[in-house]
Amino acid sequence: MPIRRLPSHLIDRIAAGEVVERPASAVKELVENSLDAGARRIRVELTGGGTTRILVADDGQGMDPAELRLAVERHATSKLPGDDLLAIHSFGFRGEALPSIASVARLTLESRPPRAESGWRLVVDNGSMAEDAPAAVPPGTRISVDGLFARVPARLKFLKSERSEVAAVIDTVRRLAMAHPMVAFELLHDGRRLLHAAAAPDLPARVLDLLATRDAVAVDFARDGLALGGLAGLPAASRGIADHQYLFVNGRPVKDRLLSGAVRGAYADLLARDRHPVVALFLTCDSSFVDVNVHPAKTEVRFADAAAVRALIVSALRRALDAAGVRPVALTTIAALHALQRSTLGDRDAASTEPALPRHGGATHGNAVSGGGQQSTAPYATSSPAFTNVADLALGFDLVPQGRPLTEPPPAAPPQRYPLGLARGQVANTYIVAEADDGLILVDQHAAHERLVLESLRAHEAAPASQSLLMPEVISLDEPAADRLEAHADTLAALGLTLERFGHTDILVRAVPAALAGADLGALLTDLADDLLAHGAPLALRERLDHVAATMACHGSVRAGRALSLAEMNALLRQMEATPHSGTCNHGRPTWIKLAKGDLEKLFGRR
Ligand code: ADP
Ligand code: MG
């Protein structure tokens, strides 16, 4: 084949493949243009999930006829005054969004600079000019995209359900709105309002307006020309998916692995591995420090000194959370036990990830702390020298004894009858300390109970033990979340959770699985909706049930931090002994660990 220069309409279509993937990406480009034009109000209207029509209207500086014609030309931009690609202060600069969109849809631009007498309309229909004429329009700019991908069926096929496409648009608009508190935003779909943010006085006010939680602390930290501000959600407000993380670099929303990795690192020992913090973080730095021109949609960035950025984020989040009194007590303890384990057991490793209960009289070390590397999330575990951590053990208990004195008489039954021993007390309102005939057992009460609830939900799957609520409870969610729950109502009913849609954003709960009586239904439904988003429709029913059951179980469990009576502790231990898989929680972490008598003796030099 001879080499040929590609015709411009093909070049535009190829570029469109990078810039306009779905309705949300077109919305992003159009809203960014409105922001670059200094708009104070931006309205986005979708019809038919955005493929029928996207309209973005603003009150910005507008364009005159000559500018309109240039705007739809390739590589025409008003935003790159010089040649320095690092000195970019606007969203745009590539000058390819409008021509790209115009090559895969019918693009109508109506614009009028505020001081101009009248306005102008320009229509480009799938790459060809269809109208270029004066029009009676208000000041500002209205751009509509009709029939996106209608002539490119291959692209249309790649779109997800209307619901997912709308959800992606909401996410896009929310991210942009967070970074521009002074601008009022409104988003409608088929005439219904999905998002509304009035102009806010400052960034924190806007972020709180749009963030999924109010349980958050302010972040404000600067070092070496880098600054991080925003809000960090408390561990208790964590979510089952990472979608509620909003990251911005110099006001630009980004989805960047380096940044989200740093966030994960900062929360590593505060959250279970499958929980994700809610954060909105704004990194500011000199524009020479960051390259935004790595990705056509400009959602990824490259930093001159990635390590410094990571360190800054971790320090800033740690400080903010520390100041709020959030401390990883539990894991310090586990790290210490790790070291203890290594020092007493050498390199012996329990290979199984689902340890068997210790058999009576057997020499098993039960749920060895180092088993299967499951505790590798504890950051200090690997590097610390063996014995110094015995001191950490004390630190983990905060040096103030939190163990509750034994006030009830110990049950009379001889301990050897029970593989998990008899409860002797509780530490940090989180761990049960039990004495077995051959050693000391520590149980994570939340993890253990969560597994018990899950197993009971599974056992009842065929005929769920459901409990009707005397007063049905109404839970308000955002609309896509309510949509997802409604769409999966059958799955949930199979587990005993009976829901009904109630208006646009409300869900009526009529019955709950018996194992979940008393659970916080708002938190439960929020997590379930997240879960359904993460493991949506393609999952087999069985698998979906499992995910849902696991999420439910988490909510039905005794939380860490609750004081238990000895009788309650013993009941939990006995139930664990009788329940399959009780050695690990639903997330695969051990629910209990054991220090065998022999190990204790070695530790104290008695052997
Ligand atoms: P870029 O934003 O990279 O410059 P675009 O194709 O998105 O490229 O837009 C081309 C040009 O059209 C912009 O540089 C800007 O001058 C003009 N423009 C686009 N949208 C608007 C708007 N809403 N208000 C005013 N001018 C606009
Ligand atoms: Mg642009």
Written as six digits, the tokens of 161 are 């359900």
May I ask the CATH architecture of the domain 203-327? 2-Layer Sandwich (3.30)
Over range 407-426, report the average pLDDT. Answer: 69
Residue 32 CA, ligand 2 centroid: distance in Å: 6
Which residue intervals of the chain bear CATH 3.30.230.10? 203-327
Of 214-223, 350-359, 440-449, 509-518, least confident by mean pLDDT is: 350-359
**pLDDT exceeds cutoff 60 at 345:** no
Which of the two residues, 43 and 84, has the higher pLDDT score? Answer: 43
Q: What is the mean pLDDT of the chain?
A: 78
**Does ligand 1 have an atom closer than 6 angstroms to the CB of 60?**
yes
> Which of the pair, 92 or 32, is modelled with greater confidence?
32
**423-593 topology per CATH:** Ribosomal Protein S8; Chain: A, domain 1 (3.30.1370)
**CATH number attached to the domain at 8-81+92-197:** 3.30.565.10
CB burial class (10 A; 0-12, 13-18, 19+) of residue 471? Answer: exposed
Question: 284 pLDDT band (50/70/90 cuts)?
Answer: very high
Separation of alpha carbons 306 and 476, rounded Å: 40
| Location of each CATH 3.30.565.10 domain in the chain | 8-81+92-197
The pair of structure tokens assigned to 478 is 């955002």
Assign 57 a pLDDT band (cuts: 50, 70, 90).
very high
pLDDT at 8 over 80: no
Q: Report the 3 state secondary structure along 501-565.
A: EECCCEEEEEEEEHHHCCCCHHHHHHHHHHHHHHCCCCCCHHHHHHHHHHHHHHHHCCCCCCCCC
Structure tokens at 522: 């708002």
> 38-75 burial, b if ≥16 CB within 10 A, otherwise e?
ebebbbbbbbbbbbbbbbbbbbbbbbebebbbebbebe
Residue keyed to tokens 């994960």: 264
Q: Where are the alpha helices (DSSP H) in 37-96?
A: 65-71
- pLDDT at position 554, please? 72
Residue 599 predicted with pLDDT over 80:
no
Report how far ligand 1's centroid is from the alpha carbon of 289 (Å).
25
At residue 277, the pLDDT reads 92
| % of the chain exceeding 90 in pLDDT | 34
Instruction: Please tell me if the CB atom of residue 95 comes closer than 6 angstroms to any atom of ligand 1.
Output: yes
pLDDT digits (tens, 9 = 90+) for 93-131: 677 899 999 999 999 999 999 999 999 999 999 999 999
Where do you find CATH 3.30.1370.100 in the chain? 423-593
CB neighbours of 346 closer than 8 A, spacing ≥ 6? none
166-198: per-residue pLDDT in tens? 999 999 999 999 999 999 999 999 999 999 999
Residue 453 Cα, ligand 1 centroid: separation in angstroms? Answer: 56
* pLDDT value at residue 93: 62
Pocket test for ligand 1, best of 70, 77, 88 (most atoms within 8 A of CB): 77
pTM for this entry: 0.62
The mean pLDDT of 408-427, rounded to a whole number, is 71
Between 547 and 43, residue with greater pLDDT: 43
Q: Contact at 8 Å (CB) between 285 and 86?
A: no
Better pLDDT: 75 or 282? 282
Whether ligand 1 lies within 6 angstroms of the CB of 498 is answered as no
Average pLDDT estimate for 29-54 = 96
Task: Reply yes or no on whether the pLDDT at 252 is more than 60.
Answer: yes
**Which pLDDT value is given to residue 317?**
94
Most confident of the ranges 141-145, 211-215, 226-230, 313-317 = 141-145
pLDDT at 109 (0 to 100): 98
Residue 591: closest CA among 449, 381, 437: 449
Share of the chain above pLDDT 70, in %: 75
Least confident of 394-398, 411-415, 429-433, 434-438: 394-398
pLDDT tens track for 426-470:
998 889 999 988 888 899 888 888 877 777 776 665 566 678 888
Q: Identify the pLDDT of residue 242.
A: 86
The pLDDT assigned to 456 comes to: 73
Q: How many CB atoms lie within 10 A of CB 506?
A: 14
164 lines ligand 1 (CB under 6 A): no
370 lines ligand 1 (CB under 6 A): no
